[in-house]
Structure 1
Amino acid sequence: MVIQYKCPNCGSDMTFDADSGTLSCDNCGRQDNIENFSEDFIATVFEEEEAKEYQCENCGAVIVTDGDTTATNCSFCGAAVVLADRVSGILAPSLVLPFTISKQQAEQAFRKWCKRGLLTPKDFKMADRIKEITGMYVPFWLYDLKNEAKVHAIGTRVRNYTRGDYIYTETKYYDVYRDLRIDFSRVPVDASEKMDDALMDKLEPYQYSDLKDFKTPYLAGYIAEKYNYDAEDLLPRVKDKMRKPLDDYIRSTISGYHSVNYKDKNIRTAKTKSLYTLLPVWMVYYDYEQAEHIFAMNGQTGKVVGKPPLSKAKIAGWFASIAGGSFILMKIISFIVTGGINF
């Protein structure tokens, strides 16, 4: 089933507006609250099965999608459509975090980010080769995790003291035990096989206080994907993702020792809840030196991640400045020690 939201004023297609948080009509400017939008102005086309082809209600063109797409735009008339059968039943998200950054704001933020690169080429920093900026709702699982940690470690305290003509070192050893309960809430893991996991992880943090119960109007005007991996599939990955925060927390509870050697560390992690959630991402495609560079932007905070090209000349100059600074520093030290300086 294809869903399109029609303007009650002029009949044009409406899309979700990140600035106002409403369904907005680009034609006449009308804005409607999502919670109160009348079903009389929702156009639907039903399909017999989950096909990869849908028909646009506006122009009759065939909308071709892959099996993972849940929201898109008609390539012929530009109408925003939501493929409702792909966001219903077991595929229905529980929550959605709406875009708060518009496409124009995303472009401005990306250009500003490009200019901050100290080692990027000058012509890249001009940010004048943006090929495309696409708003996408990426499927994530948000996990609540319960962790029980039982730790046995050996801590040492070292004391040096002088007695007569001798210097003594005294080392004391202590058994350290910890029995901890550590809970994490709303740990995100992306569930799309198309997305780069490392790139998606770097987009964090999101402000989850702005999460909304899922409603299809939030998707209007954006591309959206359905999950490829369920919550059980990704449980090993979320456990691995939280390993370092767990270790850091355990380490923070053991203080006052000169060294700590862990003898046994047993951590049991269990999922208490997982919620299928759509998070907002602007994908930025940038052409530079006959290659396409892909960047991602948090659609709520504006944080940009990705690997920009580097200038070999700037890198060489940076290393040269470090080497030159080190040389001058050594000469200053030599001057202080010997009372003279020679170049």
Structure 2
Amino acid sequence: MVIQYKCPNCGDDMAFDSETGTLSCPSCGRKDNIEDFSDEHILTTFSEDEAKEYHCENCGAVILTDADTTATTCSFCGAGVVLGDRLSGVLAPKMVIPFKISKDEAIQAFRTWCKNGRLTPKGFMSADRIKAVTGMYVPFWLYDLNSKVHVQATGTKVREYTRGDYIYTETKYYDVMRDINLDYKKVPTDASEKMNDEIMDKLEPFHYEDLKEFKTPYLAGYIAEKYNYNDDELYPRVKARVQDFIDSYIDSTMAGYSSISFKTKQIDTKKKQSAYVLFPIWMVYYDYDKSEHTFAMNGQTGKIVGKPPLSFGKVAAWFSSIAGGSFITLKLIAFMLGGGLW
């Protein structure tokens, strides 16, 4: 099933507008609230093979889609379509965070992120490096978790004092026990096989006050994919993600001791519920040094993840001007060139 949203005024293809939160027509400028859009202007067609092949109703072209695609655009005329039968039943998202950052804003952020060429190789900013700018809804699972923790440990308190000519060290030992009940709400984990987990993790947080009940018009004009992994398959990963928070909380309850030696630490984490949601992400693919690189932006908050190409000479000159010492400069350059994602 292929869904397209047609303008009631002129019949052109409408798309979701991140600035106004409406369905917008690029030709006549008409804007419609998603809740009020009339069903008579929703064009639905069917395909026998799960919509892997469909005919664009705008230009008649035959378009082949990836089996995971739930929303896309026609490569021939640019019409936005939603593959509705891939969004039904267990594949239907519960909630969606609509885009707030427009395509133009994403491109401008990319250029700013590259520091307008101050630290990039010569000619990088003057050439058209951008190969593709894609707004996509990435599938995530949100988990509500509960952890029951039982800890037995030995704590010490050490003090030194002077009496006469002697310095004494006094160590007291304590039995420490903790029974802790922890709840975690809406812990996100991306469910797309194609997306880099490290990049997706670094694009967090998403602000959940913008979560909307899922409706297909939010996808119009963007690319979207269905999940590759269900909530049970991703549960071990989300469980591992909260482990550091659990350990940190346990430690925070034992402040005041000079040292802690754990005897037992029992952690039982269970899933209370999970929800399938779509989050907005801009992907900018750019070409440099005969290879393709990726810049990603949170389509709600504008947070950026990536690593721009750097000119060693420009970085050295820039740090020299502010640091003044060759040793410090080289250390900072090594950190920037060898570090992880920004």
- Whether the TM-score (by the shorter chain) exceeds 0.5 is yes
Q: Distance in 2 between matches of 1:260 and 1:51?
A: 60
After TM superposition, list the pairs within 5 Å mapping 1:211-226 onto structure 2.
Answer: 211-226=211-226
Q: Are 2:188 and 1:183 aligned?
A: no
Q: What letter matches 2:104 in structure 1?
A: Q
Q: For structure 2, list consecutive stretches of 5 or more residues without a partner in the other structure.
A: 330-342
Task: Provide, for residues 297-320 of structure 1, a one-character-per-residue CA deviation record: whole Å limited to 9, x for no partner.
Answer: 000011110222233335666599
Task: Provide, for residues 105-161 of structure 1, a one-character-per-residue CA deviation record: whole Å limited to 9, x for no partner.
Answer: 111122222218986546556785222210000000010111111112222111111
After TM superposition, list the pairs within 5 Å mapping 1:156-175 onto structure 2.
Answer: 156-175=156-175
Q: Give the stretch that moved more between structures: 302-311 or 242-251.
A: 302-311
3-state SS, counterpart of residue 313 of structure 2: helix
Q: Following TM superposition, by how much is the alpha carbon of 1:49 offset from its aligned partner in structure 2, in angstroms? A: 3.5
Q: What letter matches 1:180 in structure 2?
A: I
Q: Are 2:4 and 1:4 aligned?
A: yes
Q: Distance in 2 between matches of 1:115 and 1:211?
A: 32
After TM superposition, list the pairs within 5 Å mapping 1:93-132 onto structure 2.
Answer: 93-115=93-115, 120-121=120-121, 123-124=123-124, 129-132=129-132
Cα distance change, pair 295–94 in 1 and its aligned pair in 2 (3 A): same
Q: What letter matches 2:134 in structure 1?
A: T
Q: Distance in 1 between matches of 2:119 and 2:26?
A: 40
Q: Distance in 2 between matches of 1:158 and 1:278?
A: 52
Task: Provide, for residues 242-277 of structure 1, a one-character-per-residue CA deviation record: whole Å limited to 9, x for no partner.
Answer: 111111111111111122222221111111110000
In the other structure, the counterpart of 1:62 is: 62
3-state SS, counterpart of residue 242 of structure 1: helix
Q: What letter matches 1:227 in structure 2?
A: Y
Q: Distance in 1 between matches of 2:76 and 2:298?
A: 29
Cα distance change, pair 122–239 in 1 and its aligned pair in 2 (3 A): farther
Q: What letter matches 1:171 in structure 2?
A: T
Q: What letter matches 1:223 in structure 2?
A: I
Q: Distance in 1 between matches of 2:12 and 2:61?
A: 17
Q: What letter matches 1:146 in structure 2?
A: N
Q: What letter matches 1:20 in structure 2?
A: T
Q: Distance in 2 between matches of 1:55 and 1:324?
A: 63
**Identical aligned pairs, as a percentage?**
66
After TM superposition, list the pairs within 5 Å mapping 1:1-343 onto structure 2.
Answer: 1-115=1-115, 120-121=120-121, 123-124=123-124, 129-313=129-313, 324=327
Q: Give the stretch that moved more between structures: 265-274 or 127-136.
A: 127-136
Q: Distance in 2 between matches of 1:315 and 1:41?
A: 55
Cα distance change, pair 321–265 in 1 and its aligned pair in 2 (3 A): farther
Q: Is the 8 A contact 1:111 1:126 kept in 2?
A: no
Q: What letter matches 2:149 in structure 1?
A: A
Q: Distance in 1 between matches of 2:201 and 2:325?
A: 33
Cα distance change, pair 51–221 in 1 and its aligned pair in 2 (3 A): closer
Q: Distance in 1 between matches of 2:160 and 2:267?
A: 36
Q: What letter matches 2:242 in structure 1?
A: M
- Asked which structure has the greater CA Rg, the reply is 1
Cα distance change, pair 285–325 in 1 and its aligned pair in 2 (3 A): closer
Cα distance change, pair 324–88 in 1 and its aligned pair in 2 (3 A): closer
Q: What letter matches 1:228 in structure 2?
A: N
3-state SS, counterpart of residue 63 of structure 1: strand
Q: For structure 1, list consecutive stretches of 5 or more residues without a partner in the other structure.
A: 327-343
Q: Following TM superposition, by how much is the alpha carbon of 1:231 offset from its aligned partner in structure 2, in angstroms? A: 0.3
Q: Is the 8 A contact 1:114 1:124 kept in 2?
A: no
In the other structure, the counterpart of 1:339 is: none
Q: Give the stretch that moved more between structures: 62-71 or 122-131.
A: 122-131
Cα distance change, pair 173–126 in 1 and its aligned pair in 2 (3 A): farther
Cα distance change, pair 310–62 in 1 and its aligned pair in 2 (3 A): same
Cα distance change, pair 124–184 in 1 and its aligned pair in 2 (3 A): farther
Q: Is the 8 A contact 2:72 2:80 kept in 1?
A: yes
Q: Give the stretch that moved more between structures: 115-124 or 211-220.
A: 115-124
Task: Provide, for residues 21-40 of structure 1, a one-character-per-residue CA deviation record: whole Å limited to 9, x for no partner.
Answer: 00000000000000010000
Q: How many residues align?
A: 326
Cα distance change, pair 315–77 in 1 and its aligned pair in 2 (3 A): closer
Alignment RMSD (CA, Å) = 2.1
Q: Distance in 2 between matches of 1:107 and 1:36?
A: 31
In the other structure, the counterpart of 2:333 is: none
Q: What letter matches 1:129 in structure 2?
A: R
Q: Distance in 1 between matches of 2:152 and 2:121?
A: 51
Cα distance change, pair 119–159 in 1 and its aligned pair in 2 (3 A): farther
| Superposition TM-score, scaled by structure 1 size | 0.90
Task: Provide, for residues 77-111 of structure 1, a one-character-per-residue CA deviation record: whole Å limited to 9, x for no partner.
Answer: 11100000111111110011100111011111222
